[in-house]
A = this chain, B = another copy of it.
């Protein structure tokens, strides 16, 4: 529904900027294909990747609350995106309240993901953070492609992975080799396999979230009374 409401399709090559931080806010994007990172620059020259976006994701929605965009959206692979005007979004809340509630719920889900990220970055060391990242991405990829096995392609450099979990690329490398040696992961270039998911979960130190499905309250009073 959102994708159809959008403007023309746009292609961005790997490494290209979909939208830079600090720009005036006039809408958001939908990711049709490819991977995108959402990052915040820190004044010491570093940057923090706050979210890895997969196909189907809404990009840049948090900045709707701001005058200037907070995040830089960078194409991790070649991507296709569609821009959507904020006005189109406003119409949805008035025309399709159930959809509005679903968008609200989706935003709350993103908050849970961010909360878990903070817990991971703030309270575990590098091994646990890598474990949490790999598990999180594998889980989301499995939702898109249920037939997927225990492995996947991770199109990020080790420096980008470091920007996600808050360590340097050198330490990402040390951590990968350590996890490999201990049998938690298998690597072949950017291809990762997770032979010991329970072990990784224990390393990550965070509970596995069960997302609410068939949430009845978003139907509102009509169906609730009907």
Contact A94 B222 (CB under 8 A): yes
Beyond A40-B206, A50-B115, whether A101 also contacts B109 by CB under 8 A is no
Also in contact, A110 and B111, with CB within 8 A (given A93-B101, A93-B218, A221-B91): yes
Copies in the complex: 2
Quick one: given A112-B65, A206-B43, A217-B87, are A122 and B70 in contact (CB under 8 Å)? no
In the bound complex, residues from chain B placing their C-beta under 8 Å from that of A210 are: 66-68
Contact A90 B211 (CB under 8 A): no
A118 on the interface (CB 8 Å rule)?
A: yes
Q: Is A160 an interface residue (CB 8 A)?
A: no
Distance between Cα atoms of A105 and B91 in the complex (Å): 14
Binding site for B on A (CB under 8 A): 22, 25, 38, 40, 42-44, 46-48, 50-51, 61-68, 70-71, 86-87, 89-91, 93-95, 97-98, 100-101, 103-112, 114-119, 121-124, 165-166, 202, 205-207, 209-212, 215-222, 224
